[in-house]
Amino acid sequence: KTGLNHTNGGVIDGNGKTLTVKGADSTWDSAIYTKGGTIKNLNVKGAFRGIFTGGLTSDLIIDNVTFNDVTYTFNADGNSVSDYKLKVKNSTLNGWTSYSNIFKSVSFTNCNFGEGKGYAYLRPYNPTTLTNCNFSTGFKLDASKTEGIILKNCTVDGVAITQENITTLLGTGAVNATVQN
């Protein structure tokens, strides 16, 4: 079950409104299914997966989107790397964020990561750069599935993440991530 199919690319501008999808609680259900384009200025609630993609036809940009009351905030599943990028900026991701290796590159800029539906977790399967991001206390980063996870000027509740404290702040799974401040 999907609340909104966004398969032709283009722009979804929520204009600050909330998209709540009820009854989409099964593993593959999502509030928005997309194959690329831009999703912006939206609050996403209520589905098992906030935004989901199984394959891309263009870059995917998520800008000023807040995920609450979802298990997976953003999720991607696929078998091969595409030529397309994922860019998430100015967004709040409360829950489990995970994506397979279908992106050419992934970046999070000016994002907040927190707990949602009992999860506070990021597991990238693509090289990923996080810039000026803040994580809530207790949030975990699993950097074991790919090389090239870079954190630039990121914090945990205002405490600067360094190479020396990354596993203390984001858990032992973050040991392979690189901090560049």
**pLDDT for 18:** 97
Q: Which DSSP state fits 161?
A: P
**pLDDT for 75:** 93
What Cα–Cα distance (Å) separates residue 44 from each residue in 21, 39, 52, 80, 127?
Answer: 8, 11, 12, 27, 26
**2-55 pLDDT per residue, tens:** 998 988 889 999 999 999 999 999 999 999 999 999 999 999 999 999 999 988
Model pTM above 0.75:
yes
Angle at 30 between CA 76 and CA 41, to 5 degrees: 85
Q: Which DSSP state fits 176?
A: G
Contacts of 164 (CB under 8 A, 6+ apart): none
**pLDDT for 55:** 86
Residues of the chain with pLDDT below 50 are none
